[in-house]
Chain A
Amino acid sequence: MLTLENVSRNFGGLQALTDVNMTVPDGKIVGLIGPNGAGKTTLINNISGLDHPTAGAIRFDSADIHTAPPHRINRLGVARTYQNIRLFGEMTTLQNLLIGQHGQGSASLLDAIIFRPKYRAEERRLRQTAHDLLARFSLTSVAELPAANLPYGDQRRLEIARAIATKPRLLLLDEPTAGMNPIETQELGEQILRLRDEDNLSILVIEHDMSLIHQVCDEVYVLNFGQILAHGTPDEIKRDPVVIEAYLGKED
């Protein structure tokens, strides 16, 4: 589904990514691990369109996306969450989920002004979907709270719910378990597996937490200094001496 071919990103002298080759097959969960500063977030930014590679190609379902603007990439079916939560804090939980569905609607400003039936029907549909998502992610009780006031766990779930609202086929999760305890991490892992099954998603997960990687990932890539060091199943990676050396044995 997603292919990265010899992707490189050079920031005027600082080589952030070098010749990265990666594939996320349909319906699989792929993990991306690596020490801090390895280039993981840069990689996700390049996939989601916030940044563009200086060399190489990124393809989503055989369409080139490495030069496309982020909103077009999203409409093609790629959604993401952020390492530091980037919710629309001033808006309520519900409104965040409505915004997430921006790409699912097509009513124009004019339609809204003249109360066209198309606009009314669409708003109803968007709200219904938002409520469904609230229920599914256990956020109904905080629906009307500003997102910035939510407890941390709820915020993390809202981030994912909002990404799901964009009806993606590929989900990019940037360190989704940051700040969570082992129980919460386990629950999130189960949620990720459910997402794959219920929504037919392919998922790319950036993580430091090896227990989550083992729990959900079919395959893992290891990134360091902008280059792919290794690729294999979580068990293979765990035993790979090159990987161990890169991490100096660091494992949660």
Chain B
Amino acid sequence: MDPIIDALLSVLRPIGITEIVLQFMLVNAILGVSIYLTLYTGMFSLANAGFMAIGAYAGVLITTQLDLPLFAGLIGGMVLAGIIALPIGYPVLRLKDIYLAIATIGFGEVVRIMILNFDSLVASTLSNIEGERVRFELLGGARGIRSIPKLTETWHLMLFLLVIMFLLIRLHRSRFGRAMAAIRQDESAAANMGIDVVYIKNAVFILSAMLAGAAGAFNGHLTRIVTPDAFGFDKAVDILAFAVLGGMGTWVGPIVGGLVLTALPEVLRFLKEYRGVFNGLVLLVVIVYLPGGLINPTGWRKTWRWLTRRISGDPPETPAPSAPSNTDGGD
């Protein structure tokens, strides 16, 4: 693995991408996949930041408090995220698009606030029981957990991502994957085809949560600090931006989106100061003018045609009359 990584880095370093940047790119690619899974099934869930937080804190606690290797922290983070996803998903996934979005945003905020107040809550409960002031420090409140050992290495991330990519390809050729796509396009029709929509949605939600948790565990051992504020609404929007920019049509899209959005502020230095503006602009411009994202041949073809028509001054095409459609009410 090492020679491959070195070769890759020698190409990337000149344009401003150092090894640590590459590692963040890979983490964000994993996050891109986690939101891809839910979007592919038609669920507009913004809960991934919350699951990332769970995975990060769990993973970090396992390695620092229990002195176990990164692998244990990774598994622990993934498992905890998955376990929490089950009771959350079951009631929440019944909601329709924007209500699901709002509920998952709310979930993310609840997670953040619980992590923030966990220590003081436990401390005050214990104080009430013991009758005297007790100090409790596990999650670190707003300060978070610091001095985490830098256990994540590039080859971990690359291997993990490669495994994920293999699983994604297998997913798309499986009965399960077909059902996911069917649910996205028409949930009721899918149910009438014998697809257990509730089961599949929940399963996908849990898988997505586990991936986000893994990304969190990796990330914690990269940044060496975890704080609750890093996993709030801003993070959830970041993850959404990976999918929007990369394109949600194929699984490659969100991976590319994660890689590109992480790399861009490093490559184009001036962007760093205007990072926030850039993120907002990306979301807005892409969704309005290039809705399929970057990895989207149909969209590029359309944009190309629109551009070349503008340049050559040809009159705009009149849209073809749409085929007669059957509206409600029959004849």
Contact = CB atoms under 8 A, between A and B. Distances in A.
A52 interface: no
B320 interface: no
B192 A49 contact: yes
Interface in A99-120: 99-100, 102-105, 107-109, 111-113, 119
Interface in A147-192: 152, 162, 166, 175, 178-179
A102 B195 contact: yes
13 contacts: A70-B191, A71-B196, A84-B328, A88-B186, A99-B178, A99-B182, A100-B193, A103-B193, A109-B175, A113-B174, A178-B330, A179-B326, A208-B330
A111 B193 CA distance: 21
A210 to B, nearest CB: 11
Contacts of A208: 330-331
A80 B326 contact: no
Contact of A69 (B176, B191, B193): B191
Given A71-B196, A80-B192, A83-B330, A152 B324 contact: yes
A104 B328 CA distance: 31
In the A-B complex, the 10 residue pairs with the closest CB atoms: A103-B194, A112-B174, A70-B191, A109-B176, A74-B194, A86-B189, A113-B170, A88-B185, A84-B326, A71-B196
B301 interface: no
A240 interface: no
Contact of B191 (A49, A91, A179): A49
Contacts of B326: 83-85, 178-179
A107 B174 contact: yes
A227 interface: no
A49 B190 CA distance: 12
Contacts of A209: 331
A84 to B, nearest CB: 5
A135 interface: no
Given A71-B192, A91-B185, A252-B331, 4 more contacts: A88-B185, A102-B179, A178-B331, A208-B330
Interface of B: 167, 170-171, 173-179, 181-182, 185-186, 188-198, 323-331
Contact of B174 (A70, A109, A179): A109
Contacts of B193: 71, 74, 99-100, 102-103, 162, 166
B173 A166 contact: no
A236 to B, nearest CB: 23
Interface residues of A, number: 48
Output the residue of B177, B186, B194, B328 with the most chain A CB within 10 A. Answer: B194
A111 B189 CA distance: 25
A7 interface: no
Nearest to B207: A109
A173 B181 CA distance: 24
B174 A74 contact: no
A146 B191 CA distance: 21
Interface string A84-98: 111111110001001
A71 B195 contact: yes
A90 B175 contact: no
A48 interface: yes
Interface of A: 36-37, 48-50, 69-71, 74-75, 79-80, 82-91, 95, 98-100, 102-105, 107-109, 111-113, 119, 122-123, 152, 162, 166, 175, 178-179, 208-209, 252
A123 B179 CA distance: 14
Contacts of B188: 50, 70, 86
Nearest to B181: A91
A70 B190 CA distance: 9
A109 B324 contact: no
B178 A98 contact: yes
A209 B167 CA distance: 50
Contact of A152 (B189, B195, B323): B323
B185 A84 contact: no
Nearest to A152: B323
A105 B194 CA distance: 10
B192 A89 contact: no
Contacts of B327: 84
Contacts of B178: 95, 98-99, 102
Contacts of A103: 193-195
Given A83-B328, A86-B186, A112 B192 contact: no
B192 A48 contact: yes
B175 A112 contact: yes
B320 to A, nearest CB: 12
Contacts of A74: 191-194
A68 B203 CA distance: 21
Contacts of B171: 109, 112-113
A113 B167 contact: yes
A99 B179 contact: yes
